[in-house]
Amino acid sequence: MSNEAPSTPRNRSARARTRRIALLGALVGLTVAVGVAARRPPPQPPVITPPQATAITAGPIQLSAQLDRSSVLRGGDGQLRAELVIAGQAQGDLPLATVPTDLVVVLDRSGSMQGEPLHFARAAVLELIGQLTPLDRFALVTYASDGEIAIPLTQATPSALRGWRDRIAGVFASGGTHMAQGLDLAHGLVTSSQRAGRAPRVILISDGHANQGDYSLAGLRGRAGRSLSGEYVLSSVGVGAGFDETVMAAVADAGTGNFYYLPDIASLSGVFAAEFASARETLASALEVAITPGSGVVVESAAGYPLERNGQTVSFRPGDLAVGQERRIWIGLRAPTGAEGEIALGELSLAYTSLDGERHQLALPSLPQLACVPGEADYFASFDREVYKRGIRSEGLGRLQEQVAAKLRAGDQAEAVSRVDGYLYDLAIEQQRALGYVDEEALAPAESLRATVAAPAAAAPPVQNQLGKQLLEAGRDQRRAGSKR
Q: Terminal CA-to-CA distance of the chain, rounded, Å?
A: 56
- pLDDT for 96: 59
To the nearest 10°, report the CA torsion of 446, 449, 453, 457: 150
CA 385 to chain centre: 23
- pLDDT for 57: 87
**Rounded CA separation 422/394 (Å):** 18
> In CATH, what class is 54-81+284-374?
mainly beta
- pLDDT for 198: 93
- pLDDT for 47: 38
**Rounded CA separation 461/465 (Å):** 6
Q: What is the mean pLDDT, run by run of 10 residues, along the chain of 485 residues?
A: 41 45 45 37 41 81 95 97 93 66 96 90 92 95 96 96 93 94 97 91 90 93 93 93 90 96 88 93 95 96 96 96 95 97 96 92 91 94 94 96 96 97 96 91 95 97 95 96 92
**Beta strand pairing call for 233-239 and 256-262:** parallel
- pLDDT for 10: 42
CA-based nearest residue to 337, from 366, 307, 369, 370? 370
- Give residue-wise pLDDT tens across range 98-114: 899 999 999 999 998 99
For residues 466-481, b (16+ Cβ closer than 10 Å) or e, as one string? bbbbbbbbbbbbbbbb
**Sheet bearing 341-343, strands edge to edge:** 71-73, 370-373, 341-343
- Give residue-wise pLDDT tens across range 268-285: 989 999 999 999 999 999
> In CATH, what class is 101-280?
alpha beta
To the nearest 10°, report the CA torsion of 317, 321, 327, 329: 10
- pLDDT for 264: 83
- Whether 210 contacts 177, CB under 8 Å: yes
User: pTM surpassing 0.85?
Assistant: yes
Residue 339 CB-density burial (10 A; 0-12 exposed, 13-18 middle, 19+ buried): exposed
Residue 372 φ/ψ, nearest 5 degrees? -100, 120
CA 406 to chain centre: 16
**Beta strand pairing call for 61-67 and 71-73:** unpaired
**Rounded CA separation 141/374 (Å):** 61
